[in-house]
Amino acid sequence: MAGAVGKKLNSELLKRLEITLLSVNVVLDDAEEKQIRNKNVKKWLEELKDAVYDAEDLLDEISTESLRCKVEAESQSSITQVQNFCSSFNPFNKGVNSKLEEVLARLEFIAKQKDVLGLKEGFAEKPLRRLEETSVVDESSVYGRDAEKESIMKLLLSDETSGYDDIGVVTIVGMGGIGKTTLAQLVYNDYRLKEYFSYQAWVCVSEEFDIFRVLKTILEQVTSSATGT
In terms of pLDDT, which residue wins out, 1 or 198? 198
CA distance 106 to 101: 9
Cα distances (Å, whole numbers) of residue 209 to 18, 80, 135, 137, 205: 32, 59, 19, 24, 6
State the average pLDDT for the chain: 72
Give the burial string for 132-161 (b: 16+ CB within 10 Å, else e): ebebebeeeebeebeebbeebbeebbeeee
Cβ atoms within 10 Å of 49's Cβ, excluding its own: 15
What band does 206 get if pLDDT is binned at 50, 70 and 90?
low
pLDDT, residue 106, reads 92
Average pLDDT over residues 17-28: 85
pLDDT, residue 175, reads 61
- The residue extents of the domains of the chain are 4-125, 139-227
CA distance 187 to 193: 8
CA distance 173 to 94: 38
Q: Taking 60 as the threshold, does the pLDDT of residue 38 lie above it?
A: yes
CA distance 67 to 3: 9
Crossing angle of the two packed helices 79-87 and 39-74, in degrees rounded to 10: 150
What band does 226 get if pLDDT is binned at 50, 70 and 90?
low
> What are 65-119's pLDDT values in tens digits?
766 766 666 666 544 444 544 444 455 566 778 888 998 999 999 999 999 999 9
Q: Which range (123-132, 147-156, 190-199) has the least confidence? A: 123-132
